[in-house]
Structure 1
Amino acid sequence: MIRGGEMRARCRFERPVPQKSAAGNAYNGWVEACTVWGWLKPMSGREAVKEGRLEATSTGTLRVQAGPKTRPIDASHRVWIKGRVYVIRGLPIDTEQRGQEIDFVIEAGVAS
């Protein structure tokens, strides 16, 4: 269990909202779902050449307190941490099975 003082990363979760451009094309815009404190544990980083370009990605685990704001968050959302956008990979996990905290596997450097 993480203590409140250890949650130092400000996390802004956003959910997709279908929108249309002036030309009538559909695309996803983003609106804020909630902003909470979290604990970010970087796991790995890697670089790869894709289509002639160097792309860098990094993965990690984000832990936040479980509550009415964070329980609806799923893989359709994205999260901003320290000016960087991360996509959420998979379903939230209650690692300690106490219902107090939720873990997300997140990845930066990929399309959201």
Structure 2
Amino acid sequence: MTVAGQLRHRLRFEAPATKADGAGNFEAGWQEEFTVSARLQPRYGGEAVIASRLTGTQPVLITVRRSSQSRRIISGWRAVDAHTGVVYAISSPAADMEQDGAFLEFIATTGRGD
């Protein structure tokens, strides 16, 4: 059971965005959406091969309060720790695992070079 006191991290959620450079080209980037308190629970890590290199990855379970903002989070977004700058790539849609309507949980991964 998640309680409010466990939401000890400040995460900034960002959505993918493209920007025009004025010369007809577009750059991929990130658009800040909102910042909320969250709980981070590390899961078993692993290794992935990215660009022909072995890279350590760390899956985490992110828990946030359910709100009109947090219900918009989808896979493909990312969360950035406001204090450490660690980037978490969201890889799952929102789930209400406790089925109480108070919190949403997401699976995310860090260490992928995102």
- Partner residue in 2 for 1:53: 53
- Partner residue in 2 for 1:85: 87
**RMSD after superposition:** 1.9
- Partner residue in 1 for 2:25: 25
- Partner residue in 2 for 1:35: 35
User: Taking every aligned residue pair, what percent have the same amino acid on both sides?
Assistant: 35
User: Paired residues, what number?
Assistant: 112
- Partner residue in 2 for 1:9: 9
Q: Which runs of 5 or more residues in structure 2 are unaligned?
A: none
TM-score if structure 2 supplies the norm length? 0.85
Normalized per residue, the structure richer in strand is 1
Shift of 1:62: 0.4
| Runs of 4+ residues over 4 Å off in structure 1 | 48-52
- CA shift digits 1:26-78 (9 cap, x unpaired): 33221211101111000022235555533121101000000112111111311
TM-score if structure 1 supplies the norm length? 0.86
CA contact (8 A) 2:95 2:106 kept: yes
Q: Which runs of 5 or more residues in structure 1 are unaligned?
A: none
